[in-house]
Amino acid sequence: MSLQHAILGFLSWKPLTGYELKKMFADSVTVYWSGNNNQIYRTLLDIHKKGFVTKEVQHQDDAPSRKIYTITEAGLEELRSWVLSPPEVPQLKHTFLIQLSWADQLSDDELDHLISSYEDEVHVHLLMLRKQAEVKTMSPERTQRERYLWDMIMQNWIVMYETELQWVRQLRHGLGDTTPERKHNDGH
């Protein structure tokens, strides 16, 4: 994901502070980003220098000054250009599959615990996604088409976690079929 373009996207909804942007990233499932907060502020400085955003400083007597960023016409054009660029195929980092690659060295109980832990995590994420879809916490909904697009993005995430949950249950069932063979192989 391009952090610059995600920030421009959020700013296309409304003017925001760096703190508000951090919170939006933290609360968003659909616009996931795992970098550190300093990257947001560095990116804001960069896109300000490029003329993609303006910055208004609001002084507060009882708190630090607020820097409010607003997207410019040049920023909207940059965002539009990026949206029109060829999409990338997702690159998934799936740590559990890497762990599973060498899990044959585990005892049956250890492997069962590993799978159960993963299944629980997937289940919790799925429940959170369904709840977020229900309350629509991160959807601008300026038009009917935009609302539909964001609903379908959330649906994509939900289907992905539902599929993962089905797969892990199939994995557990299939391992049950291999257990006697494993015990036999361990015995010689």
Number of other residues whose CB lies within 10 A of the CB of residue 63:
7
What is the pLDDT at residue 166?
A: 97
Out of 84, 114, 139, pick the residue that ends a domain: 84
What is the pLDDT at residue 99?
A: 93
CATH of the domain at 54: 1.10.10.10
What is the pLDDT at residue 181?
A: 52
Determine, yes or no, domain membership for 23: yes
Number of domains in the chain: 2
What is the pLDDT at residue 133?
A: 84
- Tell me, yes or no, whether 179 and 114 share the same domain: yes
- Cβ-count burial 18-44 (b if 16+ within 10 Å, e if not): beebbebbeeebeeebeeeeeebeebb
What is the pLDDT at residue 32?
A: 67
Tokens standing for residue 120? 């629980």
What is the pLDDT at residue 97?
A: 93
Q: What is the pLDDT of residues 89-134, one digit of tens each?
A: 877 788 999 999 999 999 999 999 999 999 999 999 999 889 888 8
Query: Would you give the distance in Å from CA 145 to the centre of its chain?
Result: 22
Out of 35, 63, 84, pick the residue that ends a domain: 84
pLDDT (tens, 9 = 90+) of the chain, 188 residues, equals 589 999 999 999 999 999 999 888 887 777 766 666 789 999 999 999 999 999 999 998 898 899 999 999 999 999 999 999 998 887 778 899 999 999 999 999 999 999 999 999 999 999 988 988 888 766 677 889 988 998 898 899 999 999 999 999 999 999 987 755 544 445 44
